Structure 1
Amino acid sequence: MGNHEWTAGDTVMALRVVSEQSEKDILKKRAHDQLTRDLRRFAANFLRITSGSGKPLDLLRQTEKLTASLQAYAIAHDGALPTPRTVHQILDSRAALIEYRPWIKEVDEASRRRWEEDGTNARNDAVAGIIKAGLRMMASELVDQLTQHSTAESEFYEQIRRLEDVKEKSRRRHNPKK
């Protein structure tokens, strides 16, 4: 935003440029975007570390950046930290994938129906469920939460059964018995 002046003959004209977004809205968006980048980088490295890879020595630097991003977010949002829903949305790997590769979302209706019919969607859902349950199992092991581990383990095996069912349906569809 700003004021701009120009002359046309003897007349000085003023033009004020007004943005569709307020400075506060722009600050909020920047803070959210920075938090998103830093939280995802921290989470990705942390997950890699727990699986035996990643860069453990980068955690301190990433934690400092994440702390600064949280502080900037709070300043931009009048002292409010991100809600649990906001954090879950930031760390939703499917949403992140679509954000990074928006063309994935642009699928025609025929493809959607085909994936529903051939079990692609069900298989993807089962695999995602296995991964999430495995992460919950690992998290509960790190802090000795047996009840949560048992619940996650049950979900893990339920998702494996779902995946096996999908594979069996696919086999029957492609190789029907004579």
Structure 2
Amino acid sequence: MARTLPEWMYPPRPSGWEADDLDRIPELPRHTELIDGSLIFMVSPQRSWHDRIIRRLTSALEDQAPAGHTVEARMTITLGRADRPEPDVIVAAVPYDPNRTNFLPEQVTLLVEVVSEESRARDRETKPFKYARAGIRHHWRIEDEAGNPVVHVYELDETTHAYVPTSIQRDKLAVTVPFAIAVDLSALAR
């Protein structure tokens, strides 16, 4: 028995999907990303740990972000025609807009990926490369280390257009860029 895909699942053009297409397809599952012109569906269930870290980190960053910044969880960023990934947390130097559906690289101050089993390769390899090429200066990757969040902090090297690690932080997170941030990491997972 052959299954046919719903009409909306077929790319609208031979070159594939484009970033703006994500706003025009009401049937798309929540948390759909566009990577290299291909739709990535985030339909596998996430662990409670993943969701808790995102929610609590988003709240901590909202409390500490400078005026005029907004913090969003699970919102896409348009990196180019064929790329619109969805980081777990975005801090952007723009005011809150209730109608916003995505951010542009020049608006983003910090991106955070909380690694899950399903997205491990994308979160560690594909997405950081694309974020760096788009010029986003600050990127964090959070890994699960025996139930505790460990933050890998990266900063963009302007010469190479690649991220360089600046620290790996456990228990307490303390950074001065992109702005002063202090987070009790052990409390995020409790």
TM-score range, shorter chain: under 0.3
TM-score, normalised by the number of residues in structure 1: 0.24
Q: Which has more strand, going by share of residues?
A: 2
TM-score where L is the length of structure 2:
0.23
**Greater relative contact order (CA < 8 Å, ≥ 6 in sequence):** 2
The structure with the larger Rg is 1
